Amino acid sequence: MKKAIFPGSFDPITLGHFDIIKRGVKLFDELIIAIGINADKKYMFSLDERKKFIEDCFKDEPKIKVVTYKGLTVHFCEKNNVDFILRGLRNPADFEFEKAIAHTNRDLAPIETVFLLTSANTSYISSSIVRDVIRNDGDYTKLVPKTVSVK
């Protein structure tokens, strides 16, 4: 069974994340969307809200599981028998950053990182851009799945 993890903070999940997940789930028997917990980070959405956005988004996809975790992604992988990390790449800067992390992860554990290029129509979207649009009362709904809502 090929299991992969798609880790991130998902604050909030974007259409870019959604695209990578929908395409990535076809490659694996199980795809775990893992929301990392970083006590030093200030989030716009609570952990429960972020998890619910994602669960609601993929409620009809039995191959997707949504979890939260603390610590190193490779430790999560080892504890959960996950052999692959799925990552999306938007641009060359993402590639350089993700390449360094992938090499480090492979040094720490026998984990392979699989990269998917984002679709052209979502390559400009990031969670930080979405948060900025929300903070400034813009129409964020064009950038996120329908399950994401601001109260």
- Summarize the annotated binding site for substrate as residue ranges: 9, 41, 73, 87
Active site residues: 17, 41, 90, 127
Percentage of residues in the chain having pLDDT higher than 70: 100
Residue 97, domain CATH: 3.40.50.620
pLDDT in tens, 30-70: 999 999 998 788 999 999 999 999 999 999 999 999 999 99
- Summarize the annotated binding site for ATP as residue ranges: 9-10, 17, 88-90, 98, 122-128
Q: What angle do CA 62, 54, 22 make, to 5 degrees?
A: 55
Report if residue 146 sits inside a domain. no
Report the number of distinct structural domains present in the chain.
1
**Per-residue b or e along 125-151, where b marks 16 or more CB atoms closer than 10 Å to that residue's CB:** bbbeebbebbeeeeebeebbbebbeee
Q: How long is the chain?
A: 151
* For residues 95-109, average pLDDT: 95
Residues 108, 72 contacting (CB under 8 angstroms): yes
> Which pTM does this prediction carry?
0.94
Domain that holds residue 87: 3-136
